[in-house]
Every structure is written in C-alpha cells, then in structure tokens.
Structure 1
C-alpha cells in the first residue's frame, strides 16, 4: 500500500439496518441541507478516473513483463502517468476482467482471466478504488470473481460492482478522502450471455440499460449512509464508436437527474467518447482504454483519457463540481513493452476533438496537457 493511500484512504463499510431496505427517514436525503463545514475540513477534493484495464495475452504487454520465476512485473505500464494518478485525492480505475490464480493459467479474449500482477501495478500507480462490473465479470466464473476481489483487497484497493456475498452487495462502501465521504456505485449492461449463477444473482450489478433503477437504489443507500459525493460508473453500450447510443444517453440522464448522483463515468466502448455537462452535472460517456492491446494497431483503441473533477463545498455545505478537466493519454505499444503516456500532439488533438463533440469546452471543460 502506498504512503498516500494509507494516509488518505480509510474504507468505511456501512451496513444499513435491514440490508436493501429503503433509507430510514432520519438519514440525509436530497431535501436535507448538509451540515456546515467544520474548521479544518477540506473545501475541495479532486477525483480522477481512467478507462478500461485489459490484459490481452500473447502480446507485447505480457511478453515484456514476464520475469524469471514466472512472475510478471507490470508496474512500468503506468509509471509515466503515476504522478498524474497519485496527485488526485481519489483515483478510480475500471478493472474490466477477472484475474487468474498466481501462475495462471491465463486466458485472452473472449473469456479472459489475466495476470493478478496487474492489480499490484494499479496500486503502485496510486489507484484507490476500482469499479469491477463489466461484461467480462463472470469470464472466470464465481471463483474468478471472488479471487479478483480478494486480490484488490490485498492491494488496498476498494471496489464496487461485483460482490462475494449477498450482504456486501447491499453495503454502501464509503471512502473517507481527506474527511469527505465518497460513495461509488457501478453497473454493467450485461455479461456476454453468461447467466448470473443460480442463488448468486447478487454477484454482479447488472442493469437493463436504459433502466438504471438498481444503480439509483444503490446511490440512495450510499447517500443515506452519509456519502457527500456519489460517483456512478456505467459499463455499456456499443463498442468502437465515439458517439454514445440513445440508450446510453437515457441511462446517463436518469442517473444525473437523481439527487443522489453527482458524476457519471462511462466504460466499455474501448474508444474515447464525449464529455458533457447536463443540468450542471458532468458525464464522461467513455474514457476509452487505459491499457489494452487490440489486434489492430493504430486504431483509436490506443487513445485514452484521464478525467479529473474538482468537487468544492458550497455555502449550503454540499459538494459540486467546480472544475472539469480531461487529460488525453496514449497507450504506447512497443515491441517488448506497453506503457500509458501523456498524449503526443496528434493524439492530443484527436482526443480533444472527441471530448468536445457535445460542447463540453464551452461549458467549462479544460483539456489539459497533464
């Protein structure tokens, strides 16, 4: 665990009385004015989020990271952007695939089970929290799902979206970030046709997009448990297209219309999608890949972005986004290594153009070089 994480991140797991019940009347809700800030409490915090973490097999990433003894050293993958990640008060990743046991066996697409060392690399880079609900969540079965959560726990990375028990599936996980309680909810539009295991339907947060009612219920539980900011991660809808689908837009608007959701992060497209401000709140429809090696090099699947939002406490005591930034990144596919780096000029301009497809820059988005 990094020094920053041990100092900043305290995971407060709050089990509400009667798991899954409606929030109690005494809990804070959308009509309750938050308490005024106390002396010494922070006025602002930064939340940074990145795209899909995928480890494809038989390519440069795994070939270049294999060390004597059969272990993989993947820390170098994120090293060029570790300062960017570590500078955020809360850094959120999206771990799309389950991990295999130490030593394998490892599997690539379509049923992935990847090197657990990728989690060590995420921790080393400075991530505090990962969403884990994706269409690949059950690629390695229930064992793989639980193993992935155990590996994240061992690395000191909080998680939401997949669960090892029914109780934990309804427990709001709040992160104490410099004294501010952050809630995170997640959902995926499907599981690639893999059915949820009988009796374990709670294992993955699956939502029938555009209906995001389960995510809204989870956000309400997080708010009732004391979350001052709630971030929602949505894994959907069509791959390899920059424009969000109509269903995706409907789902995002439903999330942002809720008084319990403050920010929406999107995944799954594998290419960067626009950022948009909707009724004063922000969505990053698709953050692209954070690390991946798709078969065709030079495709926009190597474009990436880190979205950074500053939440500031207002005079009413509530937090709202006062600064929205996006940092274009590039996945550099070498012959013997893969690294995530700040974007070169051509990639920067290309990514910036996609981010602004919905007029985000006019609405206040800053596309930053770092």
Structure 2
C-alpha cells in the first residue's frame, strides 16, 4: 500500500519521487527467488496522488518494485477501482510499460479470456497464477473492465484449469478475511479447503493487514500438498493501528515435478519484516526491514521505535508455519 504520507516522504523534488529506498534492505531476499509475486494494493491512476480511501500512487512505485526484484503483481483487491475505469486501465498500462506481469484485473472480457490465468514457464515448470478479491469497496466495476471476484465460479475455474490445461502448479492469490484479525476466519479455512480440492497448490492471502497463520497441508490419501498462507500482513504501508500492522511476511518454497508426474512443495520458509518509519529533519523515511532475530535488526531501527519493534518481534514468533493433514 502507499498512503499519502509515503508519497510525501518519497518526494525529492517537485514531481520527482524516490521510492527505491523503501526496498533497499528487502530487495536482496526478493531477488533470490526464481519468481517473486506481490499484491499491489493501490493504483497508478495518475495525479492527484492520493492515499486512503481511494489510492493513486506515483508511477515510480512500479519501477521501484521491478528494480527490487518482483516479477508479478496481483491487482484484484478492494482498491483496484479506486480511481475508476481510468485508474484501472492506467495501472495495467504502467505495469506493462515497466515489464511487470499482472493478474486479477483486465481491460475487457476479451483480454481476460486470453490472459486468465496468467501462465508462466519458470525453470521448466508451467505455472498458473490467479488473483481474486472479495469486493471493490462498493464501487461498481466500470464497463468493460473486469475484476476477478470471489464467487461460486472461482473454484470451478480452478478445477477447469487443473483438468484441462497443462499447468504443473496452480497459484491462487486471494484478497479475503477480516481486517486486523490475527486469526484466520472459518470462512477463509472453508474457502481454502474448496480451492485445494479444486486443484490449487498454493493459496496466498491478503487483506487483513496483519500476518495470519501458514500451513503446509498434505492429503495422506493422495499425497497431494498445498501451501496456504492466510494473510501476508502489510509489506509496507503507513498503518499504525497496532504493532501487528507494521509487519509483513515473505514466504518462499521450492516447487518440483518428478518425471512420473508426482509434485512436491519443499523448503518452505518464511521471513518476517518490519516497516521502519523514521522522522529526520521534518521528513519521514520508510524502510522494509527483514527480521533476522539478531542484534542487527535493532541497529536498523530508530531508537524511538525499539519498543514497538520489540512487541512486533514477540508477536511474529507466534506466527509459525505448521505441517497439517487434510482435511483442514
């Protein structure tokens, strides 16, 4: 997310912004992956730039995300039509111009038919990336644009892709859940179960603005696996509702397909991060700080934030990746 204070912080001259510094410390981790996916919860709707409740961010953000190592941005979320038809279309134009692939919103139904799901070939694996949202904050989706919404057709689409297309792994990025709730809801768990049964291999959630649980599920009957992350929290934002909103989660894994067709999800790891906000000479700076649980972390945090950071670190230790057995 990019709230207005973040835009002001990034301003280095009239109409000139430096957003790259936000990702300085986290970029090496992002670039290690063969494929890095993130949720873009703002628009590139042009000026005037705005934060909550109807976001529009400088185009420089797209360049910063590309340079930080991200490959794909999911765009189906409750803020994707904040700036109407123009904002949705311009966001896709900017992402295309920068070279960032995207999934979840489309210029029209023809484009959706051609580009949904987003199909990628990474190191010999065929991957399908799908992005859905629970809604758009009550703003009607402008014609002829399309936003992927969570509905009864979603699981049918996943099943169709599994049954009819040559995808080795299906990745579903889903905007769901209740804001600021640290525990996933029954609805999220039920929907994750439906997606797994339909054929999803990775189910990655966003929207609650706090990190929620992550599970590596295995169906002992079929040996099918799935990685479910109920919420990645806030990678970067200006939210300060409680320390939990100052943190995010990066999850990595290794996907493999054997010659006999068997698939595996291994080496599942996660990295917590903290949004550092430092006031210096009447200007605030934002940094995403990876948490290594060492003294190095505190050295990157301004002394005025040490207590908040300590509280988040303690909270982060309660969020663990659990191995679990299907059914959920």
Shorter chain as normaliser: what TM range? 0.7 to 0.9
1:354 is aligned, of 296, 319, 322, to 319
Other-structure match for 2:194 = 254
Whether 1:114 and 2:57 are equivalent positions in the alignment is: yes
1:319-334 residue pairs with structure 2 within 5 A? 319-334=263-278
Quote the Cα distance in structure 1 between the aligned partners of 2:195 and 2:51: 33
1:305 is aligned, of 245, 249, 253, to 249
Per the TM alignment, residue 344 of structure 1 is displaced from its structure 2 partner at its CA by 6.0
Count of residues in Structure 1 that have an aligned counterpart in Structure 2: 296
Whether 1:203 and 2:151 are equivalent positions in the alignment is: no
Query: Is the 2:155–2:194 Cα contact (8 Å) retained in structure 1?
Result: no
Ranges in structure 2 where 5+ consecutive residues have no aligned partner: 219-224, 294-309
Quote the Cα distance in structure 2 between the aligned partners of 1:99 and 1:110: 14
Whether 1:285 and 2:233 are equivalent positions in the alignment is: no
Whether 1:233 and 2:173 are equivalent positions in the alignment is: yes
Ranges in structure 1 where 5+ consecutive residues have no aligned partner: 1-53, 365-370
- 1:289 is paired with a residue whose SS is coil
Whether 1:85 and 2:30 are equivalent positions in the alignment is: yes
- 2:53 is paired with a residue whose SS is coil
Aligned-residue RMSD, C-alpha: 2.0
Quote the Cα distance in structure 1 between the aligned partners of 2:97 and 2:164: 28
Greater RCO structure (CA 8 Å; 6+ sep): 1
Other-structure match for 1:173 = 118
Deviations along 1:38-83, whole A, 9 cap, x unmatched?
Answer: xxxxxxxxxxxxxxxx0000x2x22331122411110111110111
Other-structure match for 1:17 = none
Query: Is the 1:74–1:118 Cα contact (8 Å) retained in structure 2?
Result: yes
1:38-77 residue pairs with structure 2 within 5 A? 54-57=1-4, 59=5, 61-77=6-22
Q: Which has the higher helix share?
A: 2
Query: Is the 2:211–2:233 Cα contact (8 Å) retained in structure 1?
Result: yes
Deviations along 1:165-206, whole A, 9 cap, x unmatched?
Answer: 211212332112122221100110011111223x43x61001
Per the TM alignment, residue 223 of structure 1 is displaced from its structure 2 partner at its CA by 6.6
Quote the Cα distance in structure 2 between the aligned partners of 1:306 and 1:146: 28
1:193 is aligned, of 138, 141, 162, to 138
Distance 1:267 1:117, change over 3 A: same
1:96-115 residue pairs with structure 2 within 5 A? 96-101=41-46, 104-115=47-58
- 1:143 is paired with a residue whose SS is helix
Quote the Cα distance in structure 2 between the aligned partners of 1:69 and 1:179: 46
Distance 1:155 1:225, change over 3 A: farther
Whether 1:149 and 2:89 are equivalent positions in the alignment is: no
Whether 1:95 and 2:40 are equivalent positions in the alignment is: yes
Per the TM alignment, residue 218 of structure 1 is displaced from its structure 2 partner at its CA by 5.0
Per the TM alignment, residue 349 of structure 1 is displaced from its structure 2 partner at its CA by 4.1
Normalised to the residue count of structure 2, the TM-score between the two structures is 0.84
Other-structure match for 2:104 = 161
Other-structure match for 2:302 = none
Query: Is the 2:217–2:324 Cα contact (8 Å) retained in structure 1?
Result: no
Query: Is the 1:242–1:354 Cα contact (8 Å) retained in structure 2?
Result: no
Other-structure match for 1:8 = none
